[in-house]
Structures are given as structure tokens and as C-alpha cells.
């Protein structure tokens, strides 16, 4: 019993440390990755992923605060159980079981949401959820294999309470799954991302994607800026406006390209429309129209077809054309994953990732001017080329 409390105390203290570390990285905007250890600045991730923002709070408080409070309370109750006896130890155990019975189903939902709905992963969040699941497993193991029994070999009241807590938690997790499954249109689940890794190569984008994606006209002998957007990303709309202004300001001096990076399954159809608009010479117009008319949960097929009419493109058999371009759209989505791009907006200048704090018009203007002055030399000491 004491060994189990010591183990849970250790896990809880580790959770407190990870929660505090997550808070620090959140304040820094995950400018060096989720763990804060990446040597490449500007590769945003973690809870800053746009796809994860919808469930970054619970009852008005950040999930980071809830995580810290959970592990701190678990550690405190374990300390009480180890140093106190009698009624205090009983109440401490009851508190831990109550916490686990609510935390396990909620973490189960968050893990499911990240893998199957948001199509975006926060390694720190998943690690914290893993610690909670391990803690629940420790108590479940104690109930099944090391029950404290009475003289007639019956489980104690505490064991019954623990078992009921885990059962209730599992049922709540199932209820959460069915309640939220309809909300996110899971009939078309997002493709599961590959194993996250640092961006090591970005030059292949020149050949694969930049054709027809220019916002600055014909190609010039100057710096190249590539911006990755999802048409349903709320922050991408503002950055898109800045990139459009930059394309006009540096016309004839800088190559400016906008490339789709699909975050959600419901964005696939809209990117298919963007691809057709690229072929028809209305690439920038389609991006602008989709941001102007953005809808929560994405656009349905009829709405997307209507966008072409609004741009004056009366294309025959448009629905079949949308289907035909889908394989190419999914292929390019996978290329972005393989390049290590897991969020939007993301901007590169000459292969160097731009930190989130500098992804606005004024900062990007200064960076481009500096790059032009330096003769296309790297913006940072370590580049992706």
C-alpha cells in the first residue's frame, strides 16, 4: 500500500513538473517546438496548434491549469496518506479516486480528439494524459491483484469505491465519445499524421508546389517566401492579408507563394476548389473568397460550387473535377507532413522558418528587406537548406 502511494506520488510530482513546463512553452508560443528543445526556431506546435484551440480550456480555465491542479492535488493526497493515518488517509484515498474517475474519461476524450478529429498532436499533453492513465492502471492493478480483504475474503469499502470510480470513468468516456462524434462529422475522419519530427528539408517545395501558387507574378531572381495556410484556420486569415500586402510591396523583388496545409478533414474539399482555381488562374481570388466567407466546420459541396460562380467561373461538371483533384490534394498534404509541417500558419523565407512572433506584416517586411540586403544569405544561423 505504501509502495503504491510512493509510486503515485512520484508520478504526480513528475506531472506537476511537466505541467509547469507546458505552461512555460505556452507563454513562449512553442517557438522551439513542444518540448522547447528544438534547435530550429519558428517550428510552432504543441497546444499552440490551431486545430487544438477548441478544447484548450475547460469551464473557462486553461487545461494546463487543470493539469497542474490535478497532479498537485494527487501529490498532496499521497503525502497525506504516507504521513498520516486513520481517517485522513481514508479521505485522501477517496479524493484520489474521485480525481481519477473524472480525469481519465476527459483525457480519453482529449486523446481521441487529437488523433481522430483535430489531426494535430501535442506531445506534452499526450504525455500528461499518459501519466494519468498509468496512475489509473496502478490503482486498477491494486484492486484486481492486491485487494485488502476482510476475514471473510470480501473486498473493502475503499476497493469497491475504486472499482466503481474506474467503471464510472470508463462509461463517461464512452458517453463523451458518442456525444461529440456527431459534432465533428467523424464520418470523414482526418488522416492520421506520421511520426512528428523536425523540419530538415524544405527545398523540394520549389519543384513540387510553387507552380501556379505565386502571389507576386512571374518568378524573379530574389528571395522566396512560402506561407502555409489552412482555409479554415482562424489565424491564417489575418496572416493571409499580411502576405498579400507583402506580395504587392515586394513585387518584382521577392517570390511570394501561398501553399495549402490541410489541418482538418473538412478542409479537404475547400483545398480541392483552391487547386481547380489555381489551374483556372484564380488562385489568389479563391483563397481570399474562402477566408472572407469562412464558416465554422467548413463549407459543404454546394457552397463550394457556388464560390466558382461568384468568381465568374461557370465550369461544367465541377463536382467531378473536384473529385479528380482529391488524390493530388491528399498527396500534397502528406508531403507537408513528411516535411515536418504540422500547423498553420507557417512561413519560410529562403528555407528558414519564421518564428510565430514575427509572422506579421511589419516583422516580415524587415526580414525580407534584410534578406535582400544580405543577398539571400540565411536569416538565421541554421537554415533548412
Residue 317 in this model has a pLDDT that exceeds 90 = no
Q: Kindly indicate the confidence band of residue 117, based on its pLDDT and cuts at 50, 70 and 90.
A: low
Q: What is the pLDDT of residue 222?
A: 85
Whether the per-residue pLDDT at 185 is higher than 80: the answer is: no
Residues above pLDDT 90, as percent of the chain:
30
**Model confidence pLDDT, tens digit, residues 353-383:** 887 778 889 999 999 998 888 765 544 433 3
221 contact partners, CB below 8 Å, separation of at least 6: none
pLDDT digits (tens, 9 = 90+) for 270-292: 999 999 999 999 999 999 999 99
Cβ distance 129 to 111 under 8 Å?
Answer: yes
* Choice between 306 and 174, residue whose per-residue pLDDT is larger: 306
CA atoms of 230 and 234, how far apart (whole Å): 9
Q: Please give the pLDDT value at position 123.
A: 82
Query: pLDDT digit string (tens) for 320-340?
Result: 999 999 999 998 888 887 777
Q: Which CATH superfamily, name and number, covers 2-181?
A: VKOR domain (1.20.1440.130)
Of 163 and 70, the structure prediction assigns the larger pLDDT to 70
State the Cα–Cα distance between residues 233 and 228, nearest whole angstrom.
Answer: 11
Mean pLDDT for 41-56 is: 56
Calculate the CA dihedral of residues 365, 369, 371, 375 and round it to 10 degrees. 160
CATH 3.40.30.10 domain position(s) in the chain: 204-373
Whether the Cβ atoms of residue 49 and residue 346 lie closer than 8 Å to each other: no
pLDDT of residue 339: 76
Mean pLDDT of 293-311: 91
The residue with greater pLDDT, 258 or 314, is 258
Report pLDDT for 144.
65
Q: What is the pLDDT of residue 147?
A: 53
Where is average pLDDT lowest: 19-28, 255-264, 294-303? 19-28
Where exactly does CATH 1.20.1440.130 map onto the chain? Answer: 2-181
Give the mean pLDDT of 213-236. Answer: 86
Q: Residue 291: what pLDDT?
A: 95
Taking alpha carbons only, the member of 13, 153, 166 closest to residue 82 is: 13
Computed over every residue of the chain, the mean pLDDT equals 77
pLDDT of residue 119: 57
Give tens-digit pLDDT for 137-151: 888 777 666 554 443
Q: Determine the Cα–Cα distance for residues 131 and 13; give it in Å rounded to an integer.
A: 11
Instruction: Give the per-residue pLDDT at 376.
Output: 55
CATH of 204-373, one of 3.90.550.10, 3.50.30.10, 3.40.50.1100, 3.40.30.10: 3.40.30.10
Amino acid at each position: 500500500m505504501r509502495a503504491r502511494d510512493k509510486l503515485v506520488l512520484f508520478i504526480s510530482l513528475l506531472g506537476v513538473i511537466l505541467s509547469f513546463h507546458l505552461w512555460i512553452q505556452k507563454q513562449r508560443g512553442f517557438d522551439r517546438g513542444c518540448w522547447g528543445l528544438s534547435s530550429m526556431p519558428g517550428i510552432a506546435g504543441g497546444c499552440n496548434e490551431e486545430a487544438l484551440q477548441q478544447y484548450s480550456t475547460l469551464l473557462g480555465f486553461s487545461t494546463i491549469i487543470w493539469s497542474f491542479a490535478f497532479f498537485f492535488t494527487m501529490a498532496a493526497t499521497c503525502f497525506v496518506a504516507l504521513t498520516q493515518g486513520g481517517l485522513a488517509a481514508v479521505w485522501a484515498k477517496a479524493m484520489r479516486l474521485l480525481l481519477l474517475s473524472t480525469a481519465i474519461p476527459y483525457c480519453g476524450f482529449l486523446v481521441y480528439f487529437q488523433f481522430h478529429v483535430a489531426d494535430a498532436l501535442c506531445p506534452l499533453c499526450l504525455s500528461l494524459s499518459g501519466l494519468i492513465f498509468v496512475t489509473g492502471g496502478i490503482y486498477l492493478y491494486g484492486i484486481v491483484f492486491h485487494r485488502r480483504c476482510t476475514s471473510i475474503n470480501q473486498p473493502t469499502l475503499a476497493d469497491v469505491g475504486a472499482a466503481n470510480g474506474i467503471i464510472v470513468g470508463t462509461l463517461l468516456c464512452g458517453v463523451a465519445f458518442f456525444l461529440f462524434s456527431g459534432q465533428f462529422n467523424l464520418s470523414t475522419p482526418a488522416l492520421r499524421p506520421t511520426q512528428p519530427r523536425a523540419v530538415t528539408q524544405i527545398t523540394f517545395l520549389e519543384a513540387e508546389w510553387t507552380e501556379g501558387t505565386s502571389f507576386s507574378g512571374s518568378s524573379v531572381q530574389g528571395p522566396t517566401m512560402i506561407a502555409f495556410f489552412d482555409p479554415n484556420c482562424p489565424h491564417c486569415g489575418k496572416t493571409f492579408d499580411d502576405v498579400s500586402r507583402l506580395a504587392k510591396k515586394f513585387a518584382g523583388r521577392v517570390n511570394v507563394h501561398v501553399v495549402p496545409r490541410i489541418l482538418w478533414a473538412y478542409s479537404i474539399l475547400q483545398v480541392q476548389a483552391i487547386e481547380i482555381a489555381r489551374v483556372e488562374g484564380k488562385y489568389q481570388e479563391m483563397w481570399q473568397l474562402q477566408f472572407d466567407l469562412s464558416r465554422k466546420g467548413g463549407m459543404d459541396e454546394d457552397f463550394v460550387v457556388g464560390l466558382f460562380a461568384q468568381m465568374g467561373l461557370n465550369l461544367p461538371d465541377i463536382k467531378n473535377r473536384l473529385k479528380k483533384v482529391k488524390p493530388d490534394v491528399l498527396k500534397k498534404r502528406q508531403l507537408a507532413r513528411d516535411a515536418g509541417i504540422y500547423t498553420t500558419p507557417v512561413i519560410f523565407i529562403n528555407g528558414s522558418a519564421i518564428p510565430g512572433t514575427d509572422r506579421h506584416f511589419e516583422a516580415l517586411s524587415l526580414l525580407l528587406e534584410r534578406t535582400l540586403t544580405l543577398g539571400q544569405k540565411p536569416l538565421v544561423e541554421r537554415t533548412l537548406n
